[in-house]
Amino acid sequence: MKNFGLMAVAAGLLILGTSAVYADDATDKKSSEKSSTELREKLRGMTQEERRKYFKEHPEIAQQQRQAVLEKMRPALERAGVNVDELKGLTQAERRDKVQPLVEKRIADLEKKKTDGTALTEQEEEDLTSLKQLKQMTQHGQANAPQRQPKAKKKADTDDNK
């Protein structure tokens, strides 16, 4: 009987401990979502120079922002013929030289299809919008060379234009 009582106490502690672990995971997820929202709002409130300085001081955040934009545009880039995984070891200029012609060709193809009177699918419309945004970002980046304009600002601008 003593063993049964001891096992019941151990099982209860195990159950309570497990739920506490899951609660910590949920709290961590909520706080990271909250911090990313706060960061987005903070970046929106900054001028271009302030953002540039902020990203220079926090390169890990700048990398996260670039990665987020890449992941968002990845499907459209892949449909344009870009192998995103091949771009990882290349310099910025090499990536631009590889991606730019493929993006411009895909944009031209989609715009031609649209002007010919053929209706674009929802996916093609999304691709056209994403690729135009990417083209605009790269043009701004070249104009500001060697310092690239933070992509988080461009993403925020496009959200405001919708």
pLDDT digits (tens, 9 = 90+) for 66-121: 788 888 888 999 999 988 888 888 888 898 899 899 999 999 999 999 999 888 89
| Tokens at 47, concatenated | 């001028």
Confidence of residue 142 (pLDDT cuts 50, 70, 90): low
Please tell me which residue, 159 or 114, carries the higher pLDDT value. Answer: 114
What pTM value is reported for the model? Answer: 0.55
Q: How confident is the model at residue 10 (pLDDT cuts 50, 70, 90)?
A: low
Reading the block at residue 13, the tokens are 């502690």
Rounded to an integer, what is the distance from CA 133 to the centroid of its chain? 13
* Domain range summary for the chain, segments of one domain joined by +: 39-156
Cα–Cα distance measured from residue 67 to residue 17, given in angstroms and rounded to the nearest whole number: 36
With H, G, I as helix, E, B as strand and everything else as coil, classify residue 30.
Answer: helix
Contact criterion met (CB below 8 Å) for 124 and 113: yes
Instruction: For tokens 């159950």, name the residue.
Output: 15
Measured on CA atoms in the order 33, 49, 150, 63, is the torsion positive or negative? negative
